[in-house]
Amino acid sequence: MKNSKQIWAPYHALLSQILNEGESRKDRTGTGTLSIFAPASLRFDLAHSFPAYIGRKIALNWALAEGLWFLKGCPDLWLKERGISIWDEWQDPDGKLGRIYGYQWRSWRGAGYEKPTDQIGDLLKTLAKNPYDRRTVVSAWQPAELHLMALPPCHYGFNAYISQPNTPNARLNLCVLIRSSDVVIGLPSNIANYAFITHALARHLGIAAGELVVSITGDAHIYNNLNAAARELLHRADLPPVSESLPQIHFNTDNTVFDAYDWQKDKKDFSVINYFPHPKMELEIAV
């Protein structure tokens, strides 16, 4: 079984590759980046542990809640009402974010359709009916509605795959596709987002979670103001782990229908235990 250093070695290799080989590029925020194109995918065995990054303390509870927000297609203010400010920098004066992520997942509007398409609902029906199906794709990239989004989706879609279907060893695997990734700040949170989503979908289907594959199909970058932070993360990667225990997800409810899950200060239907990261780092996100 892998230890924490082995689990995160590919991520640290990606940081090192960008620092050593990345080209200097301009970007939308004006900050500037070091960037590479379409690096090797990162793979996480969710049956072994929950991939909560240990090189620095991340806002893990917020990442879990954000994953539920995506999955349920909750209104924009759902996060705000729970004290979560992840999206504050991008919302309009009314607190709106437009038709991003969960809206597209749960209410895709296509030409000629009388009512919106629930991609998540259709995915679950397909996997339950035919676990060998190869058309199990959910997309957040709706070209006709990009202008209605506060930010075009960075993680723009995912594929699902059930290994060993119809056996006691059945596992749900997900591959998430990312067009643009802030590798220092954004990527660890996205990994936690989709690890939770994989577990929630698998639990809904009555099978176990398998592997999460994170594929950056486009621009993998480190912002220029985070180069020193990336080097510090590589230094920490060589230090002994804070604990040999590995993070694990725990569901605090017998309910397996994720649409009924909630996340509030006094009611968390899921949490991650055994999370012992290195200290928090003060990082400035580029907006």
Specify the length of the chain in residues: 287
Q: Which two tokens stand for residue 171?
A: 């596992």
Q: Which of 92, 120, 97 is nearest to 108 (CA)?
A: 120
Phi and psi (nearest 5°) for 259?
-65, -20
Q: What distances in angstroms separate CA 128 from CA 124, 170, 250, one per listed residue?
A: 6, 12, 24
CA distance 274 to 92: 37
Asked if 184 and 222 count as a contact pair (C-beta separation under 8 A), the reply is yes
Integer Cα distance of 82 and 109 in angstroms: 28
Residue 154 appears among annotated catalytic residues: yes
Pairing of strands 248-251, 155-163: unpaired
Out of 36, 71, 140, 154, which one is annotated catalytic?
154
Beta bridge partners of 221: 35, 182
Catalytic positions, written as ranges:
154
